[in-house]
Structure 1
Amino acid sequence: MMAHFRSDGWLLVLLVSLVHCAAPTESSGDDPSNLSGSGETSAGPKVQTHLVRADYHTRKTPPLGAGEFDLITLSALPNAVTGGDVLIGLRGLAGADGYALTRNGVDVTASLQRLATGEVRGLVTGLELGDNELIATARGPSGTRRAVLTVTNHPITGPVVSGPHQSPFLCQTLAAGLGEPIDANCSVATRYEWFYRTALTQEYKKLADPYAPYPADAMRTVTQDGKVVPFVVRVESATINRGITRIAVLDDPRARGREAPFDARGWNHRVYYAFGASCGTGYHQGTNGPGDVLGGIGDLLGLGQRLAKGDVVVHSTLSSYGVHCNPLISIETTSMVKEHIHETYGLIDDMVGAGASGGALQQYNAINNAPGLLSAALPAATFSDILSTAMTVADCGLLMHYYNGRGWYWDPLKRALVEGHNLLSGTQLNSICQSWTSTFLPTLDPKNGCDGSVPQALRYDPVTNPGGVRCTLQDANVNIFGRDPKTGFARRPLDNTGVQYGLDAFNHYVISAAEFLDLNRYIGGYDIDGKPSPQRMKMDPEVEARSYRIGGVVGRGAMAETPVMDLAPYLDLIPLANIHEAVRPFTVRARLRANTGQDATQSIWRGILTQPDAYPVMEKWFPTLRDLPYGADRVKAVREAKPREAGDRCVISTLGGRLELPNTLFGPLGVQLPLLPGLSPIYLVIPLKVDVPEDFDSGLGPCSTLLPVTRTPRMVAGMPMSDDVIRCQLKPLDRRDYKAFMTDAQFAELRSIFPDGVCDWSKPAAGAVDRSMLWPSIGGANPHEPAPLDYWVARSLPMATGAR
C-alpha cells in the first residue's frame, strides 16, 4: 500500500468537540450538483452535510464558494471502496491555516500531505467493512468548516455491485503458478517477479536476481518521455475480486538497489487494460500468467509496445469474458483493479481498453455503463453486448436445426439469405451460422456450457443431478435476471415471438411462400435446458426491462462520452473466426445515431489490422479530454477533440506495422524478427499497407467494395441495423408487408402461425428506456434492486451549522 503522508501538524484540540456521526443517506435526487440533509442515528443527530456530484471522467466538482473545500475519494466511488483503504483528497485549502481528518472518530491526519498544487492527499487505511465516516475539518479566514463523507468499504474479494458470488467457485491459483489458495475466495499472497526482454529473440526471460547486473542481451527502450531505460518489467500477481490479476510496468531494480522500495518511477501514469475474449459461464477462477501482460512473439494487442513506452499493462481473469460472461462483474473487477493501481502505484491519468471479441464487448459495456472507467476504447472484432449477440446464437442454432430436421433441401443461396449472409459466408465450408452453433450454442445448455475445469460430478443433469450447477448464459447472470419462481432456474433473456425468419428472402423472391410458411411454423425455440422445442421462446418482461435499465443492451448510457476506435479485421471468410461478422461495428454506430444523434465519437477502421495500428492516432485524441471544465458537454468535447486522421479508414496493414520497438522488424500477423542484437534502440517503420480514409455510408472505397458487410438472421427478418430489440412489440399482420405473391389461404396460414401478431420493428423494444442508469449496482452480498452509483463529494459547511 502507499506510504502514509505527513501531516501539517496543527493543533487538534478542535476535534475533541466533534461528535461521531455519519453522512446522510446518499441519493441521486433531482439536483444535479448537490445534496444537503440531516437525520437521526442511534448515536444521536447527524451533522448536517452538503454533497455535490463529481464528474465521473475528470473528478471535477462545481466551483467552490468562498472558504469552501471538498473531501473527495480519488481511488474509487465513495460507495464502491474495497480492501480497507481509500485515497482521498482535500481541495480548496489554499488559504487554510490547518486541517484535520478523522476516520470513524480516529484521527488520521498523519496520513495526509499537501502537494505542490495545493491539494491535500492521502491514503486512509483501516476502514471497517460497510459504512465508514470521514470528517475533514479546516480553519481559514472565514472560520472553521467541516465536510462529512460516508465511504462504503467492501472486501478485496468482492462483491461490490454484481450481487452475491457465484457458487461453487473453483480455485485455479495452482494452475496459474501461484500455489495453493489461502482462503475460500481463492486468494494468494501477492508476489512480484522481474523479466527482461532479450534482443536475441524478443522473448521475456525471468531475472533470478533483479538487483544483479542485467544480462548482456537485455534490451533497452525509449519511454513516452524520451528516457532510455533497461527493458526490465516488474510483474505483480495478486487476487482481486477472486480473479487472478497481473500488473506489469517498467522497473529498474538494479539502479534503485535492494533497500529502496518500488516507486513506479518508470510509469507514465497510463494504464493499458487488456480485456479477455470469448464468453464463458463461470464457476471457476480462470488462469493467466505473466505472458498475458508482457506480450512477445505474435503480440497482436501491442502489450510490449505499451510497456516499452511506460504504460502499466493489466490483465485479470475476472475481466475475461471467457471465464465469466457477466457485465457487472467485468465493471466491478476493472474498477477494483484500477483502485488498487491508484492506491499502490499512483493516480492514473488515462486508462485505455484493448481486446477483441469478448474483450470488445467489455469495452463497450464499460464506456456505456461506467463512464470514467476507461479514457478510450480500442475494441477489435466487435460485439456490442451479450444479449444482442445471444439473439444471433439462438437464431443460428434454430436455423441449423430446422435445415437438418425438415427433410427437404434448402440450397446454399436460400440458406445464406435467410441467415443474412452471402455465398462466401453461408456455405457449408464457411457457414457463419454453423460457426455460431458449434462455438457458443452450448452456453444455452446447462450440461454442456461448462468450462472443462468444472467436474462432471458438479454439473446439472435433469435426472441424476437436478441440483447441480447450470452452466448457461442466464445462470452466469442470475443475479441480474433473477429466478423463475416456478422452476427455481435462472430466467432467460431470449425471445423470438413474432420474428418472421426469412422475411427479406421471401420479399426478394429467393424463397417461396410455402418455404417461408414452413420455416416459421417449425422454427420453434429452445427450452430452459437448451433443447429444441416446437414452442417459440418468450422472455419475462421484467428480465427485458431490467436489462435495458442497467445497460445490458448498450447504447442508452454514456457510450458517446469516450473516444472509440473500433478496429474491424475482416474475418467473415475464416471458419469459426467468421462469427465476428463485419456488420457488428455498424450496429454500435446505429445505436449512437439513434440515441445521441451523432456517430463521430466512434471511428471504424476496417481491413486487416490490430490495436497497435491505431494506437498512435488514438493517443492524440483522449489526452486532450483530461481537463474539461465541470459541466462541459462531454460528447461535444469528444467530437471536437477528434484528430482528423482518426476518421473512418480502410487499413490493410502488416498487423502491427506501426509498432516501433528496439531491434525489431514487424512482419505479417505480428511476427517480430530481431535485427541487430545490442543495447542501442533501432527504430523501423515498415510502410507495407493500404491506409486510406473511407466513407462507409457511401458504399464506395476499397473496404466497402472488397469486404462486403453481411447481416444477421434477425436483421433480415426486419430488425433495424441497431440490433438492439431483444423482445419486439407486436402488430397485426398486414398484407402490404409481403412483396412476393401469397395466396389468401397462405396468408390465413401465416395468421395461424402468428396469432398474436408479428414484430413491429418500427417501434423500440417493449421494455426499452430512453436512458439507462450509470454505474449500475445490484449490491454486494446483500442484493437490491438496480440502482446507480453516484460520485458524491462532501463539500464543507461552517462548523456552526449542525454543531452541538
Structure 2
Amino acid sequence: MHKKKLIFSILTLLAVLVWLYPAEQPYKYRQVKRIAVAEENYLLPIFPHISQVSRPKEAFHFPIKLGDVGPSNSLYSGPKQYPFYCMTIDSQLEQPLVDNQEGFGVPVYDNLAQRSKIIGYSKDCLVASHLQFYYLTLDNNLVKLPIEQFSQLASLRDAQLPLQLFRAEQGSINRFIYTIAMAITPEELGTRSMSSLWNKKLIYQFNGGSGIGFRQGRQKAIRTITRRLSEVQQGYAIISSSGNRTSYTYNMLLAEDTARRVKLHFVSLFGEPLYTVGIGGSGGGLAQYLIGQNSHGILDGLIPQYSYPDMVSQTIYTLDCDLFNNYFTFRAKDNSRWQQWDQRQLLEGMNSLQDFPQKIAFLQPVAQLMAGMVPSFPQGNSECINGYFGLSTFIHNPRQGFLRHFYSDEVVKQTNWNYWEDMAWLFSRDQHGLVESTWDNDGVQYGLHALKQKQITLAEFVHLNKNIGSWKEQYKMKAENIITPFGRKMPFWLSLWGSDNITQVIDNQMAPRRSASLNAIEAAYRGGQVFIGKLDLPIIDVRHYLEEKLDMHHMSASFSTRLRLQQANGHFDNQVIWVAKRDFDPTKNAFVLMDLWLLKRKQFPELNAAQSKPVQLQDTCFDDKGEVIAQGKGVWQGKWNQVGYEKKSLNRGACAEHYAIFSNSRIQAEGPWQGSVFKCYKIPLAQAIKQGMYGSIDLTKHLKDMQVIFASGVCDYSQGDAGRPKDI
C-alpha cells in the first residue's frame, strides 16, 4: 500500500510539473516551414544487384574551387529528399547560402546573432569550400588559428616549442558537409594542397548513429582530426562527410555516392593515395561493409568497429524488442517469472540482468497505472531496453520521428518520419502513400528453442505467441503519448513500449502478425541494403566487449557478418575479429597490421584479400591491459558438432568462453545465426510436427491453440529467406 501512495505522489508531482513547465519550444527562428519539390535526378538501376551495375561518369569537374560550392544533386542516387534541415549553424560554420526567396528550407539572416532580417532561404544547405588551420597545444588540445595570427608562429618556433599544425578543408558535396584534414608544416600555412607530411595513405572516417534522413548533419573539423589524431600525426590524411554518418541517413546508395565524390575531390587535389582504409563504429561499421560490397574504388580495406552486417536486417529482431517489453509489462501480468530478468533472455536472446538499473524505470509504474494495473518497479534491465529503448517507434512509426523541433507543425503533418521513408528511392509505396517495410513476423514461433530445451512450458509458449502480436500497419499507427516538461532528453513516455501501436488479441484467438511485402524485401537485396557477403577486401572487425553493460553493440553481429561471408565465398579468411575489454583499444594495432596487409595487396595484386593477409593477423581476444587471452583459428567458433534434428551446434572456442556471445529473438525462434531471413517459408503445423520440429515436446494439450495461432503455418528456416531473389 505504501508503494501505491508513492506512485500516486509521483503522478501528482508530474501533473504539477507539466502545468508549470510547458513542453520544449521549437527553434522557430530557423525552422523549415515549406517543403521544396525535388527535381528529377538519375537513379542507378539495381538489377540484378547494385554491385553489378556500372556507375555513370562523373559530371562535376573536381576540384571544387575555394569559395565555390560542390555538387548539390547526387550523381546517381535519385532525387533529393525534402524537407531537409540545414545544420551548418549548429556546426559553427557560416550560415548556408541563400538559394531561394520562396520560403523553402531554413531562413538565412543578415545577422545570425541578432536575427533582425531574413535575406532569403536555403533548401539545400550549401556551404562554400574554405580552409581552416589548427595547432596542437602542449596539453593536446586543438586550437583554431585565425589567418591574422600566422605571423605569430615565428616566435613560437624560435622558442623551440613542439608545435604541430593541421589543415582542414570543409564545404558541401551532395548537400552534406565534407572534411579533408592532414598535418602540415609551418611553411604550408595558408596553402590548400601542399602536403609534404602526407604519407600517401588515406583514411575515410565513417560515423554511426540511428537516422531517418531529412537533415544535413554536423561535421566538426576539430572532432574529425582529434578522433584520429595519432594517425594524422603519423602522416595519414583523413576525409569524411556528414553524409557518411548514419545518424543522418541509412540510404547506402547516397552514402556511397557521397563517399566516392569526397574521395574524388581529395584525389583531384593531392593525387591517388597508396590505399584508402575505412574506419568507423556501429552504423559507421556496417556502412563500410555495404559500400565495400556494393562499389569499387572507394575503399581498399575496412576497420569496422562495433559493427553490424547492415541496418535493414538488424530491424528484424530489434523491432521485436518492444513487442516483448509490451508483453512482459502488460500482457503476461499473471506470470511472475518474466519479472526475473535472466528468464527474459530465454525469449529475447540478448543479455538481461537482474538488479541492473534502468534509467527509465519510473516509466513502468506510471504506464501500468494508466493501464489499470497494479504498478511495479522493474528490478532489472535488458539489452532490449537499455540498448534499444525508443528505437522501434523512431525507426518504424511514420507519425513519430524525433526531429520535429526542426520543422513547423504543418511540415510535420505532411511528412512520414521513419527509416522506411529514407528508403523511398528503393522501396515502393503502398495504397496509403507510405513506403513499404521489410519487417515481418508471420509464422515466427517466439521462444521455440527454449520450449525444445524445456526451459519454458508449452502453456507459456502458447500464451506468448498468442499475445505478443505485431506492429500495426503504418497507416494505423499514431504518435506515442509523450510529454516533455523537462525537454526531449527526459521524456515522460505514457504509451510505454509503443503499446498503442501493437496489435491486440481478436476474439480470444491471437493478436495478428505482420506479413511484409516480398517486393520490398527483393528490393532491399538488389539495392545493396542487405550485406550478402560478396566482399573481397581486408577486414579487421574490432569491438569492445559490451554485453555485460547491456549495450546494443552485441558480439553476435560480427559473427552474422562472418557467416554471410562464409556462405557467399566458401570462407571468411579475409575477416579477422578482435575483441577487447573497454580499457584497451586495439584500433592502433589494427592500423599497423592493416597497413602491412594493404601494402602487400598492392605489391601482389594477383592475390585475393585472404591470400595476402599477414600471418601474424589472426582472430584475437585481449584483456583490459591489452594482453592476448587467446589467438588463432577456432578461438571463437571452436568445432562444429552434428546434433539432433539436422542442426549444428557451435562449440565455443577459448575467446568465446571468455567473452560470451548472446543471440537474439529470431535465433531463439530457431532462426539462423546469419540473421537475414526477412520472411520465412512457412509449412503447415502438422508437417512441422511430422518433421520433428518440436523434438520430444508433447503438444496434445495445446494443439488446438497452436492450430489457431499458426493457422497460416510456421516458419521453416531451413528453406532460407522467401524474399531473397534466386539469382543473388
TM-score bracket, shorter-length normalisation: 0.7 to 0.9
Contact 2:217 2:248 in 1 (8 A): yes
The residue number in structure 1 matching 2:600 is 624
* Pair 1:581-2:557 in alignment: no
More helix by share: 2
The residue number in structure 2 matching 1:393 is 318
Find the partner of 1:168 among 83, 87, 102. Answer: 83
> Whole-Å Cα distance in 2 between the matches of residues 421 and 261 of structure 1?
50
Deviation at 1:195, TM superposition (A): 0.6
> Whole-Å Cα distance in 1 between the matches of residues 673 and 354 of structure 2?
19
TM-score (norm 1): 0.67
The residue number in structure 2 matching 1:673 is none
- The one-letter amino acid paired with 1:641 is S
Deviation at 1:268, TM superposition (A): 2.2
The residue number in structure 2 matching 1:242 is 175
The residue number in structure 1 matching 2:135 is 196
> Whole-Å Cα distance in 1 between the matches of residues 95 and 348 of structure 2?
48
The residue number in structure 2 matching 1:408 is 334
- Within a 5 Å distance, the mapping from 1:155-304 to structure 2 comes to 156-182=71-97, 183=99, 184-198=123-137, 200-209=138-147, 211-212=150-151, 214=153, 231-252=164-185, 254-256=186-188, 262-295=193-226, 299=227, 303-304=228-229
* Pair 1:544-2:473 in alignment: no
> Whole-Å Cα distance in 2 between the matches of residues 312 and 342 of structure 1?
11
Paired residue total: 575
> Whole-Å Cα distance in 2 between the matches of residues 304 and 285 of structure 1?
25
> Whole-Å Cα distance in 1 between the matches of residues 502 and 556 of structure 2?
28
Deviation at 1:208, TM superposition (A): 2.4
- Within a 5 Å distance, the mapping from 1:537-686 to structure 2 comes to 537-557=514-534, 559=535, 561-575=536-550, 578-608=551-581, 609-626=585-602, 632=606, 637-653=608-624
> Whole-Å Cα distance in 2 between the matches of residues 746 and 348 of structure 1?
65
The residue number in structure 2 matching 1:532 is 502
> Whole-Å Cα distance in 2 between the matches of residues 28 and 503 of structure 1?
37
Change (3 A) 1:219 1:647: farther
- The one-letter amino acid paired with 1:567 is V
* Pair 1:693-2:625 in alignment: no
More strand by share: 1
Alignment RMSD: 3.1
TM-score (norm 2): 0.74
The residue number in structure 2 matching 1:791 is none
The residue number in structure 1 matching 2:271 is 346
Deviates more, 1:181-190 or 1:376-385: 181-190
Deviates more, 1:77-86 or 1:343-352: 77-86
* Pair 1:450-2:402 in alignment: yes
Deviation at 1:424, TM superposition (A): 4.0
The residue number in structure 1 matching 2:491 is none
Deviation at 1:235, TM superposition (A): 0.6
Change (3 A) 1:540 1:479: same
> Whole-Å Cα distance in 2 between the matches of residues 28 and 414 of structure 1?
44
* Pair 1:475-2:421 in alignment: yes
After superposition, the C-alpha distances for 1:499-519 in whole angstroms (9 at most, x for unaligned) are 110001111111111111111
Change (3 A) 1:628 1:191: same
> Whole-Å Cα distance in 2 between the matches of residues 368 and 724 of structure 1?
16
Contact 1:426 1:433 in 2 (8 A): no
> Whole-Å Cα distance in 1 between the matches of residues 47 and 351 of structure 2?
51
Find the partner of 1:373 among 265, 281, 298. Answer: 298
3-state SS of paired residue (1:245): strand
Change (3 A) 1:700 1:495: closer
Deviation at 1:266, TM superposition (A): 2.5
Find the partner of 2:383 among 412, 416, 432. Answer: 432
- Within a 5 Å distance, the mapping from 1:313-332 to structure 2 comes to 313-332=238-257
Contact 1:652 1:690 in 2 (8 A): yes
> Whole-Å Cα distance in 2 between the matches of residues 344 and 284 of structure 1?
28
- Within a 5 Å distance, the mapping from 1:22-33 to structure 2 comes to none
After superposition, the C-alpha distances for 1:190-221 in whole angstroms (9 at most, x for unaligned) are 111111112x2111112223742537778999
Report sequence identity in percent.
Answer: 25
**Structure number, greater radius of gyration:** 1
Deviation at 1:700, TM superposition (A): 5.8
Gaps (5+ residues) in structure 2? Answer: 1-43, 100-122, 357-378, 479-500, 504-510, 639-650
Deviation at 1:162, TM superposition (A): 2.1
> Whole-Å Cα distance in 2 between the matches of residues 562 and 242 of structure 1?
29
> Whole-Å Cα distance in 2 between the matches of residues 390 and 251 of structure 1?
44
Find the partner of 2:715 among 759, 779, 790. Answer: 759
Deviation at 1:414, TM superposition (A): 2.9
> Whole-Å Cα distance in 2 between the matches of residues 503 and 197 of structure 1?
57
- The one-letter amino acid paired with 2:129 is T
Deviation at 1:349, TM superposition (A): 2.4
- The one-letter amino acid paired with 1:337 is V
The residue number in structure 1 matching 2:346 is 417
